[in-house]
Structure 1
Amino acid sequence: MNLSNGKTLAASGQNRNGTSGSWEDAGRVVKPSTPTRKPQPPKPENAVTIAVSSRVLFNMEREQQIYEQQGMEKYLKYQVEHESEPFSPGPAFSFVKALEAVNTRLRELYPQSEELFDVVLVTNNHAYVGLRLINTINHHHLFIERFCMTGGNSPIGYLKAYHTNLYLSADSAKVREALEEGIAAATMFTQEKMKEVSESQLRVAFDGDAVLFSDESERIFKAHGLDRFFEHEKTHENKPLDHGPLKGFLEALGKLQRKFFDKGLRMDCPIRTYLVTARSAASSGAPKGPMLEKIRPHIFYDDQMFHVEGAAEFGTVACHVPYGIAQKVAMK
């Protein structure tokens, strides 16, 4: 939706509560007008950049309904009237808080290093909504210093400028566009229940085929059945699978993990990654929700909505990666 006449906006200043925030476009940062005690964000080329849309970081379901049912003017009027009312947390909120917890540990170990997570809030909202977003970020004590308002335009160019390692959005079309451009991306959904997760240890779970790896094996299974799938697996058992859309993000996590390993903190590393997949006759098609309930990841990525919905039923925040043969079959 285009909320700003197709223009990319940049704004800066204090809100009515005296706290501050800033907007920026892909090439220019507008700093807050008041001093801040927060550490400066790292340069994008040095950071692991996570771009999140406002609709996944915060719960904006009511506002979205107003826009869709009553139109732009009612939507803007509602946002201005509720400017000092913070949004409640959305599905990406706990994930972002966990990123900040890891950053705190990294800064303790490597005070001068810029190899940190950097969260960028990407929104196509109108500038009038900006103050409410800044108020909400300050209310929840989030360390987000970079905002990108695209004014309804595609975010892809801005994501590339930020060297984005992962893009999370409620808009599946934007996610598909990002994936087509080689940017790791996933669609997030607002769900009724979310399990409590660790506040000090980041836990990220991945499916295998069409997420970390290519969908080569899945194509064999879809076209020729389970017997040919196992025959193909045995024939190619010594040949690694090609990379999938989120492999780069996993590698970025691994790079930060090694910084803790190098300090002798392998067993106390605040980053944990998990592979939750099904690659046998006994487990093919088995629900992943019960296992994920035990792991309690902050976020889980899968290319099949069956597993995304199943995980959500158990309170796991699950993201859909619309990639590979499964998506072509689902869209027919």
Structure 2
Amino acid sequence: MPRTLEGKLVVAISSRALFDFEEENRVFEETDDRAYMELQLSRLEVPAKPGVAYPLVKKLQAFNTPGNDQVAVVVLSRNDPVSGLRVFRSAQAADLPLERGVFTRGRDPYPYLTSLGANLFLSAREQDVRAALAAGFAAARVYPDSAVAADRHPEEIRIAFDGDAVLFSDEAERIYEQGGLAAFQAHEIERAGVPLPPGPFKPLLEALQRLQTLAPDAPMRLRTALVTARSAPAHERAIRTLMAWNIQVDEAMFLGGLEKADFLREFEPDFFFDDQTGYCDTASRVGPTGHVVSGVRNEEPKG
């Protein structure tokens, strides 16, 4: 019988998100893919340094206990298969269990997310993230230069999510864009008891909650936070939406436009997901950050 990933938390990740291939990527951008391939092959025996998403992946794999594998990590990359050799060699050198990889040599990798049943796609390439989100997958563009402190809270995964356009749809953000803060507040007060439509990361938060339940004996715990620019009275609809979904978060921060990075510095997330580049830019200075390229704030100009 073929093996299956059904029922597992599946993380698809590009090679640049998992390992530090920034120097090699500069060669690719300045020359061509052949020079890049030659460089990767020449460094086949040189393990790559961990990338921005490496600590998150390592911690997620701690939910896999003997006879009860709950997390599958798959490299999904525009790299060529030869460069893929270095990815697997680097994983082996780091004692990172990695069995699967799909390498498309420049072609769009996101169509394979369906075959994988991926819950999350992390990539350093914005267009791949946009395409994955458009196809209905939780996806984020990682900031490769994010500050990383892999040794903090080693027995706990901490993940922070923005609300609108991330956990929730961008319905309310569109009202804000059209009518400003007063219109936004009035809209949210009027609809306080009406759950917001789901955003692209709702399925991931649900999957993480299931993971905690299905692996109660794992040596890793999960802590989640909602970190949003909303403030009272617009906070009520966000809370009631999570209640309607039967989803719990451990912490909720309604910051009313305050700088999120100051609060993330205290929460110390293993990853933070937000749809606004301004918040992502500052958050990346205190921890691993992913830009969710969705919603009205990220619409590409028409024309």
Is TM > 0.5 for Structure 1 vs Structure 2?
A: yes
Deviation at 1:260, TM superposition (A): 5.2
Contact 1:101 1:199 (C-alpha < 8 Å) held by counterparts: no
Aligned-partner Cα distance in 1 for 2:36–2:139:
28
- CA-based RMSD of the aligned residues comes to 2.2
Are 2:93 and 1:139 equivalent residues in the alignment?
yes
Match of 2:179 in 1: 224
Match of 2:149 in 1: 195
Are 2:164 and 1:209 equivalent residues in the alignment?
yes
Match of 2:268 in 1: 296
Aligned-partner Cα distance in 2 for 1:240–1:63:
46
Aligned-partner Cα distance in 2 for 1:70–1:330:
29
1:277 maps to amino acid: T
Aligned-partner Cα distance in 1 for 2:100–2:13:
11
Larger radius of gyration: 1
2:266 maps to amino acid: K
Aligned-partner Cα distance in 2 for 1:311–1:330:
26
Contact 2:45 2:89 (C-alpha < 8 Å) held by counterparts: yes
* Aligned ranges 1:1-332 → 2 under 5 Å: 43-104=4-65, 107=66, 111=67, 113-114=68-69, 116-191=70-145, 193-196=147-150, 197-259=152-214, 270-280=221-231, 283-313=255-285, 315-328=286-299
Aligned-partner Cα distance in 2 for 1:297–1:60:
23
Aligned-partner Cα distance in 2 for 1:257–1:181:
27
Contact 1:165 1:184 (C-alpha < 8 Å) held by counterparts: yes
Contact 2:79 2:103 (C-alpha < 8 Å) held by counterparts: yes
Q: Secondary structure at the match of 2:192?
A: coil
Deviation at 1:273, TM superposition (A): 1.2
Q: In 2 relative to 1, CA 87–331 (structure 1 residues): closer, same or farther, beyond 3 Å?
A: farther
Aligned-partner Cα distance in 1 for 2:227–2:105:
37
Deviation at 1:194, TM superposition (A): 2.0
Match of 1:37 in 2: none
Match of 1:17 in 2: none
Q: Secondary structure at the match of 2:79?
A: coil
Contact 2:19 2:52 (C-alpha < 8 Å) held by counterparts: yes
More off after superposition, 273-282 vs 131-140? 273-282
Q: Secondary structure at the match of 2:122?
A: strand
Percent of aligned pairs with the same amino acid: 36
Gaps of 5+ in 2: 233-253
Q: In 2 relative to 1, CA 192–96 (structure 1 residues): closer, same or farther, beyond 3 Å?
A: closer
Aligned-partner Cα distance in 1 for 2:116–2:163:
27
Q: In 2 relative to 1, CA 301–284 (structure 1 residues): closer, same or farther, beyond 3 Å?
A: same
Could you report, residue by residue, the CA deviation over 1:288-308 in whole angstroms, capped at 9, with x for unpaired residues? 111111111110100001111
Contact 2:275 2:291 (C-alpha < 8 Å) held by counterparts: yes
Aligned-partner Cα distance in 2 for 1:257–1:71:
44
Q: Secondary structure at the match of 1:161?
A: helix
Q: In 2 relative to 1, CA 87–230 (structure 1 residues): closer, same or farther, beyond 3 Å?
A: same
1:291 maps to amino acid: F
Deviation at 1:77, TM superposition (A): 2.2
Q: Secondary structure at the match of 1:219?
A: helix
2:131 maps to amino acid: E
Q: Secondary structure at the match of 1:164?
A: coil
How many corresponding residue pairs? 280
Contact 1:102 1:200 (C-alpha < 8 Å) held by counterparts: no
Aligned-partner Cα distance in 2 for 1:130–1:214:
36
Q: In 2 relative to 1, CA 270–255 (structure 1 residues): closer, same or farther, beyond 3 Å?
A: same
Aligned-partner Cα distance in 2 for 1:247–1:199:
25
Q: In 2 relative to 1, CA 274–78 (structure 1 residues): closer, same or farther, beyond 3 Å?
A: same
Deviation at 1:230, TM superposition (A): 1.1
Aligned-partner Cα distance in 1 for 2:47–2:154:
21
Gaps of 5+ in 1: 1-28, 30-41
Contact 2:146 2:289 (C-alpha < 8 Å) held by counterparts: no
